[in-house]
Amino acid sequence: TKAQAWSALFSEPMSELVQRYTASVFFDQRLWQADIMGSLAHAEMLAAQGILSAQDLADIERGMAQIRAEIEAGSFAWKLELEDVHLNIEARLTQLVGDAGKRLHTGRSRNDQVATDVRLWLRGEIDLILGLLAELQRALLAVAEPHVEVILPGFTHLQVAQPVSFAHHMLAYVEMFARDAERMQDVRRRVNCLPLGAAALAGTSYPLDRERVARTLGMVDAQGNPCVCQNSLDAVSDRDFAIEFSAAASLCMVHISRLSEELILWMSQNFGFIQIADRFTTGSSIMPQKKNPDVPELARGKTGRVVGHLMGLVTLMKGQPLAYNKDNQEDKEPLFDTVDTLKDTLRIFAEMVGGQTDPATGARHGGIRVNAQAMEQAALRGYATATDLADYLVKKGLPFRDAHETVAHAVKEAMARQLDLAALPLEVLQGFHPAIGPDVYEVLSLRGSLNARNTLGGTAPAQVRAQIARHRARLGG
Ligand code: ARG
């Protein structure tokens, strides 16, 4: 019974319900690799400090190797009554190697152990996420590159605003995901710091070498210096590293969600700008004509779930007195689900946006298919070059505010005739201002408008090509 799991102090076993209520083993087992890694680093240091014998260390290493094999083979018997991953592994170790297993926990508490495990695990997940973010950026570049000259209406207020290059639009998302990667890198520095040695809350009376453990676990900064949590109370009790990871993950999902919203709009019959591969869509059980963008819709929905987990974690933390409280066990499910959701979403988006590359031929299949004609026709419908006409008049000497007013009259006239500005005869345009000459038609064309926006970060093809080159150099292969 559970009574024996603790000590002779307890006069009755824990009730069934309390056992189930307090156990975490069915979700925290995913920390097993981190738990073994942390225990081995701790044991190695205890031996180096003369706290454990060489024989004990050898026994612990042998036992852990077997436990690793058992877990990998799926034959490890996880026990609810042993509460969590830490106690399960320690109990099995003692079963396998006897007293050496009982000595492993010297100078350690589950409080510094669990904080260490979560950090080690999250560090590995962040590295995977960084790889997936790079993949997604490459996918966006692969779609952008052949479409630098494709023009779509840029929107503000979802009203046609000015023509932009489709590639430029895709590169806006590359910028967002690049910042998401930077944020993940930054969070990683603070995740990668060692709580072990803080013990339960106050430190320990054994002569531990915490820096040695940090080095063994790769918890070092860019200069190779060990990163060790400097206050034992803080080390075991704060989960700010998990919260800031969730915040970074939430922002990343918000970017995914905005992209999703655009893909959904662009796919609708009223836009018809793009298609995505059939394998990312679903049909309808009643309407035979339907192809629904389920993947981007679901990603938009899952963004709410990830943001919700962030709120959950912040709220979990806010009322806790120092130091460790069992509340912190509740950090795991939201954190794990955030990681799972973000990884799956990034993976699926990289393929949905960029398609798959055939390893044999290097050819891409799937990915966003662009309907350039539909985009350009839409850009022609909304007087997207009106600003260009105003700029043209400014170059002819008008103050901008007067030019703005003059063009408003021209647009009103064009609307009445149901024509684009560029389709108005020269005499009609000159009726609005005599300075208008035949060179106005280049200015009023979509392409003329695009080429004119040749400032750093602008949509002119030359600028967009330079940005693609910069991103390629930054991301490599
Ligand atoms: N399962 C616990 C958690 O996830 C491990 C730490 C428990 N420590 C304790 N003193 N009860 O936080």
**pLDDT value of residue 239:** 98
Is 2's pLDDT higher than 50? no
Atom of ligand 1 nearest to the CA of 84: 1
Distance 328 CA to ligand 1 centre (A): 7
> What architecture (CATH level 2) is domain 374-469?
Orthogonal Bundle (1.10)
**pLDDT value of residue 5:** 59
State yes or no: cis peptide before 323, omega within 30 of 0: yes
Nearby residues of 31 by Cβ (< 8 Å), 6 or more positions away: 85, 114, 117, 118, 121
State yes or no: cis peptide before 452, omega within 30 of 0: no
CB of 24 closer than 6 A to ligand 1? Answer: yes
| pLDDT tens sequence across 278-326 | 999 988 888 888 889 999 999 999 999 999 999 999 999 999 999 999 9
Name the closest-CA residue to atom 3, ligand 1.
Answer: 329
| Candidate of 39, 114, 196, 236 to mutate for ligand 1, largest count of ligand atoms within 8 Å of Cβ | 114
Distance 109 CA to ligand 1 centre (A): 9
**pLDDT value of residue 148:** 98
Name the closest-CA residue to atom 2, ligand 1.
Answer: 329
Average pLDDT, stretch 147-171?
A: 97
CB of 326 closer than 6 A to ligand 1? Answer: yes
CB of 260 closer than 6 A to ligand 1? Answer: no
pTM: 0.95
**pLDDT value of residue 154:** 96
Average pLDDT, stretch 35-53?
A: 98
| pLDDT tens sequence across 218-258 | 999 999 999 999 999 999 999 999 999 999 999 999 999 99
Distance 22 CA to ligand 1 centre (A): 9
CB of 242 closer than 6 A to ligand 1? Answer: no
Name the closest-CA residue to atom 4, ligand 1.
Answer: 329
What type of residue is 181?
Answer: A
Distance 83 CA to ligand 1 centre (A): 9
CB of 116 closer than 6 A to ligand 1? Answer: no
Q: How confident is the model at residue 6 (pLDDT cuts 50, 70, 90)?
A: confident
**pLDDT value of residue 305:** 98
CB of 113 closer than 6 A to ligand 1? Answer: no
Average pLDDT, stretch 7-36?
A: 94
Q: How confident is the model at residue 4 (pLDDT cuts 50, 70, 90)?
A: low
The alpha-carbon radius of gyration of the chain (Å, integer) is: 30
Cite the active site residues.
157, 284
**pLDDT value of residue 8:** 85
Q: How confident is the model at residue 424 (pLDDT cuts 50, 70, 90)?
A: very high
CATH of domain 112-365: 1.20.200.10
Is 143's pLDDT higher than 50? yes
Q: Do the strands 369-370 and 274-275 form a parallel or antiparallel pair, or are they unpaired?
A: antiparallel
Name the closest-CA residue to atom 12, ligand 1.
Answer: 329
Average pLDDT, stretch 130-149?
A: 97
**pLDDT value of residue 1:** 44
The answer to whether 337 and 305 are in contact (CB under 8 A) is: yes
Half-sphere exposure of 99 (CA within 13 A, CB side): 4
ipTM value: 0.97
Query: Quick one: 2-106 is in which CATH superfamily?
Result: Fumarase/aspartase (N-terminal domain) (1.10.275.10)
CB of 328 closer than 6 A to ligand 1? Answer: yes
CB of 110 closer than 6 A to ligand 1? Answer: yes
Q: Domain-by-domain residue ranges, the chain? A: 2-106, 112-365, 374-469
Mean pLDDT in the chain? 96
Is 360's pLDDT higher than 80? yes
Identical fold between 2-106 and 112-365:
no
Is 459's pLDDT higher than 80? yes
